[in-house]
Amino acid sequence: MTDLATRAPVTPTLDVAAIRADFPILSRRIHGRPLVYLDNAATSQTPSRVIAAFDAYYGGYNANIHRGLHTLADEATAAFEGTREVARGFLNAKESREIIFTRGTTEAINLVANSWGRANLKPGDEVLVSRLEHHSNIVPWQMLATEIGFTLKVIPVDERGVLDLDAYRELFSERTRLVAVNHVSNAFGTVNPVKAMAAIAHARGARILVDGAQAAPHQRVDVQDLDADFYAFSGHKVYGPTGVGVLYGKAELLESMPPWQGGGEMIATVSFETATTFAEIPHKFEAGTPAIAEVIALGEALKWVNGIGVDAIGDWEGRLLAHATERVLRIDGLRILGTAPDKAGVLSFVVDGAHSQDIGLLIDQLGVAIRTGHHCAQPLLAHFGVDATCRASFAAYNTLEEVDVFAEALERVIGMVR
Ligand code: C6P
């Protein structure tokens, strides 16, 4: 706990007022009060340039991509492929063909399970997932395990919500083929040492898939430095739109994998007489018309993040987290879940004698948006003996004053329900 409460103050490197002015939604009032939006781990808000990208596309160059020879198709294709290059830079991938557009992190993980997993996992093999995983990095592996007959093994956490690396090392056997782990836990905020975990996995001949949904918005991600085999994130958590996400995969791996969805765009030739052949990566994994406007708008979101600087965003969120932690710990009977020394801007807590759902509903009446529930991490919450927590999560546009409003509102609603 002291680790968090005494975290060294960070000099604000962000012009938060200017950032806020970029987000029209932040001027909304909720139940007559200024919106205090602290549900950023569920979805972040979008700056004007992302919203404008939709208008520009639909009002100016709406066309299908990679197909037409006309001007609009050219413009749309260039903008779409432009995002691929922006995403490559964002993750520091070697090549833009290592970037595949998906509907989000969930679809990215399902792609890996259904393509790489089906091709590489055999009965008796083992896949390691962690206790900290979101359901989207558990259920696709469970579904495939039932079908194929491999075993899922769970990397344990300690009482702070930190992965036990010794136990991790010991879980490996000669049958371990894959580690599937998140970079940052959505429920507790734990930052996992995925670079070290990748090195251990590779030394044991296993691949590693990193779920970066909660890391990409808050810290610099360098897939080459991490040596991740696969890395996934979602647009809507990184100031972009819903319905779009990214799967990074090492080129040689993606090339060796079969397609997982068939249709237009992913083929080289189709014939009833000879075998259908497939397109090169990344198109092999992008069947059908993609979410063109969303991909283009995601490019704008990533450029917006680059313009602010993801390190500066992470530093500022660390300051917000430290202040929020210090404030809520004054509340009698409040317990924080997830006290790792290295945490992203996520504050998960339960309060004696007050149900999380009640807190969430009542605090909304005071204009404060937080998330309550199991956060799609039921195995983690069950391990800590709870079925729900309240979760406040921070973004670049949140202020220390908003943290104070949240803490005061929290004290008030706890007084009402106890
Ligand atoms: N977590 C949260 O409130 P999608 O839905 O595909 O964009 O992202 C799924 C996902 C995968 N991994 C992690 C670590 C996540 O946090 C999420 C989404 C949201 O915590 C919604 S449940």
The CATH 3.90.1150.10 portion of the chain extends over 4-46+309-417
Residue 186 Cα to ligand 1 middle (Å): 7
Residue 134 Cα to ligand 1 middle (Å): 7
140 CB under 6 A from ligand 1?
no
The CATH 3.40.640.10 portion of the chain extends over 51-307
Is 390 catalytic? The answer is: no
40 CB under 6 A from ligand 1?
no
CATH number at 51-307:
3.40.640.10
Residue 95 Cα to ligand 1 middle (Å): 26
Kindly report the three-state secondary structure assignment for every residue of the chain: CHHHHCCCCCCCCCCHHHHHHCCHHHHCEECCEECEECECCCCCCCCHHHHHHHHHHHHHHCCCCCCCCCHHHHHHHHHHHHHHHHHHHHHCCCCHHHEEEECCHHHHHHHHHHHHHHHHCCCCCEEEEECCCCHHHCHHHHHHHHHHCCEEEEECECCCCCECHHHHHHHCCCCEEEEEEECECCCCCEECCHHHHHHHHHHCCCEEEEECCCCCCCCCCCHHHHCCCEEEEEHHHCCCCCCCEEEEECHHHHHHCCCCCCCCCCEEECCCCCCCEECCCCHHHCCCCCCHHHHHHHHHHHHHHHHHCHHHHHHHHHHHHHHHHHHHCCCCCEEEECCCCCECCEEEEEECCECHHHHHHHHHHCCEECEEECCCCHHHHHHCCCCCEEEEECCCCCCHHHHHHHHHHHHHHHHHHC
Nearest CA residue ID for atom 16, ligand 1? 186
Mean pLDDT of the chain: 96
4-46+309-417 belongs to which homologous superfamily? Aspartate Aminotransferase, domain 1 (3.90.1150.10)
pLDDT digits (tens, 9 = 90+) for 328-380: 999 999 999 999 999 999 999 999 999 999 999 999 999 999 999 999 999 99
39 CB under 6 A from ligand 1?
no
115 CB under 6 A from ligand 1?
no
132 CB under 6 A from ligand 1?
no
Predicted TM-score of the model (pTM): 0.96
pLDDT digits (tens, 9 = 90+) for 77-130: 999 999 999 999 999 999 999 999 999 999 999 999 999 999 999 999 999 999
